[in-house]
Structure 1
Amino acid sequence: MTTQIDAGELSRLIGTKTVKVIDGSWALDGTDMRALFETDHIPGAQFFDIEAVSDHSTDLPHMAPSPEQFAAAVGRLGISADDHVVIYDRQGLFSAARVWWTFVVMGHKKVQILRGGLLGWKAAGLPIEDHVVPASAVTYTPYPLRGKIIDMKTLAESSNDYLVLDARSRARFEGTAPEPRAGLRSGHMPGSRSLPFGDLIRDGSLKPEAELKEILADVGVHDEVAVVTSCGSGVTAAIISMALAETGHTSALLYDGSWAEWGQNKLDTPVVTGAE
């Protein structure tokens, strides 16, 4: 199954009731995406709250939930492990990738991103709803996959074993722009390479596979390399993970703590500035 689906195909599946749709919108500036969802969404969609469905035992933002927490939350949305799930966000392609990645980590087989997101859906002239239809809860059984997440300790001890791709802007990567979160140093992990997530996107969708392969090859991706994706807090890193999956590279790990963890002033993790 490819990582993306067109609006027309999703509309057809909604008509045959063979798909479950999720709004996975999230914004760094704290915009109330749930409130926006409740007034403007794809028919039948349910809202996935990235902040709520996360590990609350840490002060790091929206870390991956436990399988039990994920199962309970997704089950309340009326989704079972066998359902075909399609995720979108309001920006085109931004936080939806993080929700897609979370489903993948939990072993969900049929999960895709809507090309163009809500903006693309509207541009196609397809209907929206301004009311939420409550879902009937079901039992969700996760089958979590190993080897999809890497922690700071493991990465710090074996960084030379990985190609680390950083989805933040080049200015943040090089340390010429400040971090949006307080208490973080500017710069990047030694040896990591800059791959701003926007370089992978056109019109709210991943670029064509051939272009993605060329972009990824230019930063050192090949079949034999172990890739780690990173960003500010693990959201846009998933866009690189998605691009890797779209081009057939399925062994990438995501550094969930990302710069929100590595870049903390209180840590002695090495940080460098300038182009790498």
Structure 2
Amino acid sequence: MQNNSLNVLDLFRLDNQVALVTGSASGLGAAIAAALAQAGAAVACHGNRRPATETAAAIGSKAAAFRADLSSTNGAEDLFTQVTKKFGRIDILVNNAGTIIRHAAEEFPLEDWQQVLQVNLTSVFQLSQLAARDMIPRGHGKIVNIASLLSFQGGIRVPAYAASKGGVAQLTKALANEWAAKGIQVNAIAPGYFATTNTEALQADETRNRQILERIPAARWGQPQDLAGAALFLSSSASDYVTGTVLTVDGGWMGR
């Protein structure tokens, strides 16, 4: 029987939960980390070339900053070990860290391909695997992967990025199939065009900026806080019957 006395807003609370948000030194990751903290979670903020100390400091005493190189095959395990040593466990994993390298496909260096795939896809699998091993005995956990519009589209001059983000979408579904019955929901968010440091060149290009805005029904670039609600939903008990989905947050781009 449904419990009608339950306040639905309570389902979005993350009290006594520990969240790890990779790539949370700035931009989308920092906004997600702040949102989860506001909902009550203790947050492990990860950075590499840019440390996540500012994000953690802005959140306050319930947050801590960690540094690990996810372009290394040992980076995921290093990060997981650091976080669990500090917090004891991980209840929510947000795989946000990513990189993009642009070359014409016929000239794309193999080492750049391998770097992008390691950061954007392999480390996502590694961290998810490590987190699931910790979550399965407890019978609950949330994994939220950050996909992309290029999980659906091919892009130009970014074959490694498109391949990695297509892989993230499929990995999300594969892990959801295996872990749903064990109490772990695995979902992904596919952001559209957001105003971050990664898109500064596009925003500054008058022609491309106009073309992008003409395609977006909302007629504006996304702001990092626009991702916060989706991330909180997929990290909370409000989404306990949602798994294996890729949620687009794109101002209507994919529906155009």
Answer 1 or 2: which has greater helix percent.
2
Higher relative contact order (CA 8 A, sep 6+): 1
TM-score by length of 2: 0.32
